[in-house]
Structure 1
Amino acid sequence: MAVERAYPEMIRDEHYVRPFDGWQGYAHVRVWRPAPDQVTVMLSGLGGGCTLEKLLPLLRDEYPDDTVEFFFHVPSDWAALGYYAALTVGSDGTVVQTRMAGDTLAARLGPTLYATEDPDDETTGWGGA
């Protein structure tokens, strides 16, 4: 008898809009809860003055009792390959991106990762990593 794999629950999928430096900034924010005290956050579609350096602290503050793991996705389009990346924040506040395969994340997060991608995304799963 085959055992169906349990994936973490997606608890958030929203077009996040906030003012950043006088501009209306935005990002696509998706969050999964793989454990009671842990969240995995996927960011994409940043624009309007919203940067990873500004956004990560705001999102971390929204989950004060959890370990927060951040990832970033740049969708593919007709001009450039997209990619997925794990994000870490340096002691000086800079965000470091470590590229990785989208299928690695999909194996952890389940089918909701690709099912909730940005509508214009032409990434074919591996994410250009």
Structure 2
Amino acid sequence: MMVGVEIVVFAAIGLAVGFGAALLLPDLFTQPRSLTVLTGLASALLLGWIGHTVIGRHLGETAPLSAIGTALLVSVLAQPRKAAHRAGRRKAATQSQRPPRAPRPAQAPEPQAPAAQRPTARL
């Protein structure tokens, strides 16, 4: 049976991963924040319990494994296609708000040599 300290550590890991994902990457996690945070919490507790059962009472080994596994399970919720679509809309919206560019000045034609100095073609 898991000790209370382990449960608190795993719960803190899950909440940190869930809140971190929801707050730092809001474009990727379009669903409600509570879903992301609760997924992090549940997966950390589950992976902590599995690690405790398999490895034993070694919090130094089970906590990092729980954090990595929780990050992987929370990343399943990420939706990069929607994030790219939103970024494209945002980019298009900012471009339409910009003033139009000024036209480039026309380049002056190169000066030509007077007719007397031009080489003539001989037939």
Q: TM > 0.5 between the two? A: no
TM-score (norm 2): 0.19
Q: Which has the larger radius of gyration?
A: 2
Flag the structure with higher strand content.
1
Q: TM-score scaled by structure 1? A: 0.18
Higher helix share: 2
